[in-house]
Amino acid sequence: TNLMGTIVNKQIDGEVRKSSRLKIGRNTDKTKTTKKQSRTTPTTEQTTAPPFELVVIESLLGHVCSFESNKVSKLLVTADEILSGISSNFNDKGEGGVKKDAFIEMQAKLGELLPLKNKVDQREAKCTEVAGAIAEVLKNDEDMAAMRLSEIDDNGVEEGDPKNLHVEVELLFEDYLLQMDEVLLSLRTVQNSVKNTEEVVEIELDLLRNRIMRYEMLLELSGLVVGVAAAVTGAFGMNLVNHVEEHPTMFLNVCGGLIVIMCLMGYGILRKLSTDNIF
Amino acid sequence: TNLMGTIVNKQIDGEVRKSSRLKIGRNTDKTKTTKKQSRTTPTTEQTTAPPFELVVIESLLGHVCSFESNKVSKLLVTADEILSGISSNFNDKGEGGVKKDAFIEMQAKLGELLPLKNKVDQREAKCTEVAGAIAEVLKNDEDMAAMRLSEIDDNGVEEGDPKNLHVEVELLFEDYLLQMDEVLLSLRTVQNSVKNTEEVVEIELDLLRNRIMRYEMLLELSGLVVGVAAAVTGAFGMNLVNHVEEHPTMFLNVCGGLIVIMCLMGYGILRKLSTDNIF
Amino acid sequence: TNLMGTIVNKQIDGEVRKSSRLKIGRNTDKTKTTKKQSRTTPTTEQTTAPPFELVVIESLLGHVCSFESNKVSKLLVTADEILSGISSNFNDKGEGGVKKDAFIEMQAKLGELLPLKNKVDQREAKCTEVAGAIAEVLKNDEDMAAMRLSEIDDNGVEEGDPKNLHVEVELLFEDYLLQMDEVLLSLRTVQNSVKNTEEVVEIELDLLRNRIMRYEMLLELSGLVVGVAAAVTGAFGMNLVNHVEEHPTMFLNVCGGLIVIMCLMGYGILRKLSTDNIF
Amino acid sequence: TNLMGTIVNKQIDGEVRKSSRLKIGRNTDKTKTTKKQSRTTPTTEQTTAPPFELVVIESLLGHVCSFESNKVSKLLVTADEILSGISSNFNDKGEGGVKKDAFIEMQAKLGELLPLKNKVDQREAKCTEVAGAIAEVLKNDEDMAAMRLSEIDDNGVEEGDPKNLHVEVELLFEDYLLQMDEVLLSLRTVQNSVKNTEEVVEIELDLLRNRIMRYEMLLELSGLVVGVAAAVTGAFGMNLVNHVEEHPTMFLNVCGGLIVIMCLMGYGILRKLSTDNIF
Amino acid sequence: TNLMGTIVNKQIDGEVRKSSRLKIGRNTDKTKTTKKQSRTTPTTEQTTAPPFELVVIESLLGHVCSFESNKVSKLLVTADEILSGISSNFNDKGEGGVKKDAFIEMQAKLGELLPLKNKVDQREAKCTEVAGAIAEVLKNDEDMAAMRLSEIDDNGVEEGDPKNLHVEVELLFEDYLLQMDEVLLSLRTVQNSVKNTEEVVEIELDLLRNRIMRYEMLLELSGLVVGVAAAVTGAFGMNLVNHVEEHPTMFLNVCGGLIVIMCLMGYGILRKLSTDNIF
């Protein structure tokens, strides 16, 4: 979309309006601006120094934007780290030794997630406010014309028609609005990433829980089968007359019978669970 | 809605405005455009070659649009595959052999879901940005008129009234706005599909978990009943005088009694659970 | 709101504007239109046949609208069936025999829910697109005037002022916009119903799960108590000298003591759970 | 906000426009209208009876509004009852006897929640539609002027300039728009309450589930410890030579040793769980 | 953003319009207003006392705003307390003694969460209403001009052109709109915090549940292994001839064998679970 932006901007402020943009250096190296860099070359019509009030406004706007931009880029790094830490705990599984503390690691990361989310939301509210304030100024031609103090102070009324007067102001504010929009865009990308990660993690946890439960059920099934064996052997261990005390192979008969019964029981229940779509 | 689009477009740009649209071939075969194909036939009024600046803009816009469109169509294929992979694991159940690894397969698919969601969100943000930039140009008649460089360069002022001048530019941008809108529409369809799949999968997992728990409870119930039998037989196995050691049928009495007690206990608890609406 | 609509419409197009609406029959029997039916009676001022281009547009719009309307009404029936199938499984509980397969039935319904949700979302996107296209035409007076081809073809310029010319077109498009709005309204009602059902079903499943877990805990508690008895009886069954082998009532003493201990243990733990607000 | 509304309304229609509002009694006792009650006193300029068409419109609008308002106030009562029924089941816990059926009561309430949510959504859709229809009329000055039938019928054209003509109609529609807005506001408050209740109930259920699971784990831990004892006593109960059959205190040794082992085992596992942040 | 606001405001109402703002003290100490404090110094052009109607409106608006602002700041304190109470229960884990009642404490906090959420939503609805009413007045130049009663009462028509008349009213309402916007902003921050906390708490509870279940499974696994031992020892305890009754080391053989089997079984199952990515 850089390409796109370049065309549109070129058409609007470069060739046609031939506005004498200010030559103030800006510290926006980190956020990729879509403006062309040739803006600071002297234009043909008027090369007068920019009026005092615009220099002041630009420096203030630049300060606010770079302040927010710096904060946001730091947030982005932290967010990336936390989110990749959370999601990697699921995908890296299967390598072995590190797995034991995956849950604990994840819980630590989740402990950092809440302050992160709150910070991103607050930063986003602030940037929206700044962008909203700039946009409001841009919507009102009168207010923008009124900002050209040096044009008014001399004789009380404004020189020239207001339409032309505020072009410089408009371009200045539009530029910084674009910067704030980019900052907002990256904040919203982070919010989306956080939301997506949370949703997927929740389903993964659900999935893992179901798998744990299936194994729990298998263990309980085995426990039941073993319990049946214990009950039967307990019955033969009662101090009562079972009339087969002296039978030479009854011990093996009972043991063998029990093992067969246990296998049949386990198989039968597993079969039933499979029919009911649980396994 | 193709029908609808065709009517509206026919009325607007075909018969009435008789605009001389550019004849540049576009590579939009994959996204179904709602424009009629007869646009490139020579119109009656003026067949002059399109001005240089429009050719450049159209080629740039076409490049951006086809680039996004290609990326999106690839995303759509991946999304379709992953989503159908996730949801099929629930619906295909009941066939048997493949079921064991349904959860593991699903977890693998879920591992792909997070990057997919992030990619779709990022792509949607970019396309929204492009569409927003095009729409902003379309909202401003002045800016569109200012794009007709070849009309201005000669004498400094614009020839003709600005209303007529920008008709060509407007049609050009409207065309690409429509294309971006279609791309956005399919992206949002994917986002909705992902959301729907996630919601349904979560309920399915909940449902499956409840069913597992009901079986777990049955197993625990059986385990309890068997445990009672083990305790009773253990009691008779104590090395204490129970005064029925020599009773000839006491073994069978106790065993029979135990089985009856176990059955009654199991039936009673099941009955209670059924009354409490758990089974 | 029919009442309301009737008043407003009566005021706008019936008495005052006295527009000669087209007399084309429409197949919109199923969707309740808010227009009065007396619209087709001959009005007093001009009873000329409607121009060709309007007849074509109306027939096309009517086709699109009735097509979407039919699809939507079929979707509504399916949605109603699935949703009532899902929610009824919870409310009907307590009748007995059918309950066993409530979960399985519900899972079958949930398998149908995902395609339903995707279909409703797709249909809604399409209808929004159609309604958006109609609304866009309605926003632009010029475009609507340009649609009256028969007024223009004769002498190249439009007869009469454009304000009056497009009244017929405006009424036509407004009518179909209303129809699409109603279709959209019912689609959104379905979306809301689905969302509501899902949310309630999720809470119900959670609630049921908690109840199952409370019973599971009761079973485990009983299992523990029984296990203690088994351990104690096992201790007395050891082939070791316990010095009470010959005590005549020790068997009953131990059994009675065990039962008392089991009751006290069960009561104590239940009491503790009750204090901790679990039961 | 009543204060606020009174100021604004006083300024707009009371002192300045001096409009002759209609003196039709309205049955809006239940919804607190922000209009002052002195509106019906005769104004100074013109006290002519309100024209027929306005009387009709007002009576129809009043009927629609009071109909919706009644339905909504009934819904509010039902919603309040259900929501407080659901949330009270959590907060009232700790009083004792009633607790057993808290879940069942809650499930009954949840069974009522789904129809409630659907009804609120439907009612909200209808009221939004009515409010939208009124707002649409208010946006169009022409349509409002056209409603003053009695001003037009005499000579075909409208008397006076349209700006003044529609002031009465505007005030009338604005009044009912305010009423519908209040109805909508209370509906949205209910929707928010339902959403909030659901979210909190879900977390409470999750929390309760975790607490149940911790107790389940304690029970299982005890069961395991008791099972070890049973296995050891079973070993000594085997009909094999253990060479300590005749040892006089071995019975007490083994029993004491078992109890010590059980305690150590239980303490060790609890300790481990505590280290892993589960207890 | 204070910086930003100061610039914009300075430009608009301070230097350029030179409006004679009212000198009414306001009790907005708590909400940080972005207005400069030098506003109350006498301006150069006209220092006439503010007209009666503006004094009244300002006092009313100030009352409403400070009322809402106070309520909101109290809500913020409560919300902060509850939310930090909820989230701290997760992060403080690992210190020991206090942990036992973390869940119960959290449930108590959750019991306060529902009324808090409802209160915040209601307060937000009210503030939105107030801000909406102020914004609606600001949108209508006519209505604002009509508020300058003292300018109209003398001769029935308004003195001066309406554009200039309403500047004072506009500034007054804009000021209070800004205040309400700040109140709304902090309310929305609270709503976001609540939402974020809920989402993270839900995932933390899910995570904790999975960890509990893994330990439960370990316990069940141990229980199963012990149960096998019990069943085998039970078998040898049966009153049947096993032909090794007199074997001198069979007791140790069986016990040793059992322990080896138990270890192998436990290791094998753990290994299987690890392969299936559960541990």
pLDDT band at E5 (very low <50, low <70, confident <90, very high): very low
The amino acid at residue E204 is: E
The amino acid at residue C109 is: K
Q: Do D276 and A104 touch (CB under 8 A)?
A: yes
Query: Percentage of chain D with pLDDT > 70?
Result: 70
Contact flag C204-D258 (C-beta cutoff 8 Å): no
Residue C262 has pLDDT above 80, yes or no: yes
Asked whether D184 and D69 are in contact (CB, 8 A), the reply is no
| Residue of chain B with shortest Cα separation from A234 | B233
B277/D contact by beta carbon, under 8 A = yes
CB contact under 8 A, B236 and A240: yes
The pLDDT of residue B43 = 41
Q: Is residue B34 very low, low, confident or very high in pLDDT (cuts 50, 70, 90)?
A: very low
CB E145 within 8 A of CB E35: no
Rounded to whole angstroms, the Cα distance separating E42 from B123 reads: 56
pLDDT at C208: 86
**Residue E202's closest CA among D198, B174, A72, C31?**
D198
Percent of the residues in chain A that have a pLDDT greater than 90, as a whole number? 27
pLDDT at B141 over 50: yes
| Confidence band of A224 (pLDDT split at 50, 70, 90) | very high
Provide CB contacts within 8 A for D78, sequence distance 6+: D116
CA-to-CA distance for E190 and B120, rounded, in angstroms? Answer: 30
Say which residues have a Cβ less than 8 Å from residue E212's Cβ, sequence separation at least 6.
D210, D213, D214, D217, D278
Residue C249's alpha-carbon distances to B243, C259, C261, in angstroms, are 9, 15, 18
Contact B226 A224 (CB under 8 A): yes
Identify the pLDDT of residue E162.
52
Q: Lowest-confidence range among B84-98, D125-139, E19-33, E190-204?
A: E19-33
Across the range E195-204, mean pLDDT stands at 89
Window 229-248 of E: residues touching B by CB (8 A cutoff) are 237
* pLDDT recorded at residue A160: 53
Chains interfacing with B (3 or more CB pairs < 8 Å): A, C, D, E
- On whether any CB of chain A is under 8 Å from the CB of B157, the answer is no
Predicted confidence at residue A45, as pLDDT, reads 45
Name residue A78's amino acid.
T
The rounded distance, in Å, linking the Cα atoms of A2 and B251 is 91
- Compute the distance between CA of residue C143 and CA of residue C132 in angstroms, rounded to an integer: 15
Q: E51: pLDDT confidence band, cut at 50, 70 and 90?
A: confident
- Report which of residues E82 and C29 the model is more confident about: E82
Tokens (6 digits) for A121: 């939301």
d(CA E262, CA E255): 10
- Distance (Å) from the C-alpha of residue D68 to the closest C-alpha of chain C? 10
Paired tokens of B197: 């799949």
Q: How far apart (Å, rounded) are the C-alpha atoms in residues E82 and E113?
A: 7
Length of chain D: 279
d(CA E21, CA E41): 9
Looking at residue E29, what is its pLDDT? 38
Q: In Å, how far is B248's CA from the nearest CA of chain D?
A: 22
Q: Quickly list DSSP for chain E.
A: -HHHHHHHHIIIIIIIS------------SS---S-GGGGSPPSS--PPPPHHHHHHHHHHHHHHHHHHHHHHHHHHHHHHHHHHHHHHHHTTTS-GGGGGHHHHHHHHHHHHHHHHHHHHHHHHHHHHHHHHHHHHHH-HHHHHHT-HHHHTTTSSPSS-HHHHTHHHHHHHHHHHHHHHHHHHHHHHHHHHHHHHHHHHHHHHHHHHHHHHHHHHHHHHHHHHHHHHHHHHHHHTSSS--S-TT-TTHHHHHHHHHHHHHHHHHHHHHHHHHHTT--
Mean pLDDT, range B71-79, rounded to an integer:
92
In 3D space, the residue among C75, C87, C110 whose CA is nearest the CA of residue C189 turns out to be C75
**Is the pLDDT assigned to residue A195 strictly greater than 80?**
yes
Contacts of A240 in chain C (CB under 8 A): none
Instruction: Write the pLDDT tens digit of every residue in A211-222.
Output: 888 888 999 999
- Residue B251: both structure tokens together: 């073994």
Chain B residues with CB-CB distance to A200 below 8 A: 110, 113-114, 117
CA dihedral B230, B235, B239, B240 (to 10 degrees): -170
**CB neighbourhood size of C157 (10 A):** 7
Q: With an 8 Å Cβ cutoff, is D198 touching chain C?
A: yes
Output the pLDDT for position D3.
39
What angle (nearest 5°) sits at the alpha carbon of residue D24, between those of residues D18 and D25?
120
Interface check E104 vs C, CB under 8 A:
yes
How high does pLDDT run on average in chain D? 75
Q: Which of A95-109, B29-43, D195-209 is predicted least confidently?
A: B29-43
The stretch E135-142 carries a mean pLDDT of 81
- When pLDDT is cut at 50, 70 and 90, the band that residue D183 belongs to is very high
Q: How far apart are CA A4 and CA A35, in angstroms?
A: 11
The chains found to touch A (3+ Cβ pairs under 8 angstroms) are B, C, D, E
DSSP code for B27:
-
Confidence of residue E20 (pLDDT cuts 50, 70, 90): very low
Supply the pLDDT for residue B13: 38
The structure tokens listed for A107 are 């819980």
Are B99 and A210 a contacting pair, CB within 8 Å? no
Buried b (16+ CB within 10 A) or exposed e, E26-44: bebeebebbbeeebeeeee
- The mean-pLDDT minimum among A103-112, A116-125, D10-19, E44-53 falls in D10-19
Q: How close B44 gets to chain C, by Cα (Å)?
A: 14
Task: Supply the pLDDT for residue E113.
Answer: 87
Using a CB–CB cutoff of 8 Å, tell me whether D104 touches chain B. Answer: yes
Q: How many CB atoms lie within 10 A of CB D150?
A: 12
- Say what the pLDDT of residue C8 is: 41
Q: What is the pLDDT of residue B100?
A: 52
Choose among E152, E230, E247: nearest Cβ to D231.
E230
- The pLDDT, as a whole number, for residue A244 is 84
**Checking phi first, is residue C76 left (phi over 0); if not, alpha (psi -120 to 50) or beta?**
alpha
Which of A147-156, A203-212, D20-29, D174-183 bottoms out in mean pLDDT, i.e. has the lowest? D20-29
Instruction: Using a CB–CB cutoff of 8 Å, tell me whether C277 touches chain E.
Output: yes
**CB contact (8 A) between residue C226 and residue B227:** yes
pLDDT of residue C88: 77
**What are the tens digits of pLDDT across the range C126-180?**
999 899 989 888 887 777 777 776 666 555 555 555 555 667 788 888 889 989 9
What pLDDT was estimated at residue B47?
A: 52
Segment C81-86 shows an average pLDDT of 86
CA dist., res. E56 & res. E149, Å (int)? 12
- Count of C-beta atoms within a 10 Å radius of residue C156: 6
d(CA D190, CA D179): 17
Among chain D residues, CA nearest to C232: D230
The reported pLDDT for the residue numbered D95 is 46
Residue D235 main-chain phi, psi, to 5 deg: -60, -45
In DSSP notation, E177-241 reads HHHHHHHHHHHHHHHHHHHHHHHHHHHHHHHHHHHHHHHHHHHHHHHHHHHHHHHHHHHHTSSS-
Span D250-264, mean pLDDT?
92
What is the pLDDT at residue D32? 38
Residue type, A269: I
- CA closest to C238 among chain A residues: A237
Lowest average pLDDT, out of A18-27, B156-165, B233-242, C51-60, goes to A18-27
CB-based contacts of E89: which residues, under 8 Å, 6+ apart? E102, E103, E105, E106, E109
Summarised one tens digit per residue, pLDDT across range D129-160 is 899 989 888 887 777 777 776 666 555 555 55
Q: Do B277 and D237 touch (CB under 8 A)?
A: no
Residue D22 near residue D50 (C-beta atoms within 8 A): yes
| SS3 track for C146-206 | HCCHHHHCCCCCCCCCHHHHCHHHHHHHHHHHHHHHHHHHHHHHHHHHHHHHHHHHHHHHH
The pTM of this model reads 0.78
**Taking the CA atoms of chain D, what radius of gyration do you get in angstroms?**
37
Q: What's the CA gap between D215 and B13, in Å, rounded?
A: 74
| D136/A104: higher pLDDT | D136
Residue A60's CB is within 10 A of a number of other CB atoms, namely 16
Reported as a pLDDT band with limits 50, 70 and 90, residue E4 is: very low
Q: Contact at 8 Å (CB) between D179 and D29?
A: no
pLDDT digits (tens, 9 = 90+) for E33-44: 334 333 444 444
Q: Does C265 touch chain D (CB under 8 A)?
A: no
Cβ atoms of residues A235 and B237 within 8 Å: no
CB-facing half-sphere around the CA of B158: CA atoms within 13 A = 17
Q: Which of D60, D143, D251, D255 to mutate to test the interface with C (most CBs of C within 10 A)?
A: D251
Neighboring chain A residues of E203 at a CB cutoff of 8 Å:
110, 113, 198, 201-202, 205
Q: What is the 3-state secondary structure (H, E, C) of D230-259?
A: HHHHHHHCCCCCCCCCCCCCHHHHHHHHHH
Statement: residue E123 has pLDDT above 70: yes
* Amino acid, single-letter form, for residue B83: L
Give this complex's ipTM. Answer: 0.77
Contact yes or no for A233 and E228 at CB 8 A: no
Lowest mean pLDDT among A13-27, A58-72, D52-66: A13-27
Q: Which of residues 42-81 of B touch A (CB under 8 A)?
A: 56-57, 60-61, 63-64
Which pLDDT does position C13 carry in this prediction?
39
Q: How many CB atoms lie within 10 A of CB A267?
A: 11
Q: Do D207 and E110 touch (CB under 8 A)?
A: yes
- What is the band of E112 on the pLDDT scale with cuts at 50, 70, 90? confident
The C-alpha atoms of residue B218 and residue B279 are separated, in whole angstroms, by: 10
Q: Please give the Cα distance from A200 to D54 (Å, whole number).
A: 58
The pLDDT score that the predictor gives to residue B36 is 39
For residue D113, which residues of chain C lie inside 8 Å, CB to CB?
A: 200, 203
Flag whether pLDDT at B77 surpasses 80.
Answer: yes
Q: If 0-12 CB within 10 Å is exposed, 13-18 middle and 19+ buried, where does residue E50 land?
A: middle
- For the ranges C65-79, E86-100, E106-120, which has the lowest average pLDDT? E86-100
pLDDT digits (tens, 9 = 90+) for C195-224: 998 998 888 888 888 888 988 899 999 999
Model confidence at D127, in pLDDT bands (50, 70, 90)? very high
Interface test with A, best of E239, E247, E258, E261 (most A CBs within 10 A): E239
**Segment D104-121 mean pLDDT:** 84
Query: Rounded to the nearest 10 degrees, how much is the dihedral formed by the CA atoms of D36, D38, D44, D50?
Result: 80
A217 closest CB neighbour out of B104, B126, B219: B219
D partners (3+ CB pairs within 8 A) are A, B, C, E
Contact between A212 and E213 using a beta-carbon 8 Å cutoff:
yes
Q: What pLDDT does residue B7 have?
A: 38
Q: Which residues of D touch B276 (CB under 8 A)?
A: 104
Residue E180: HSE in the Cβ half-sphere, 13 Å Cα cutoff: 26
Q: Which amino acid is at E15?
A: E
In which band, very low, low, confident or very high, does the pLDDT at E24 lie, cut at 50, 70 and 90? very low
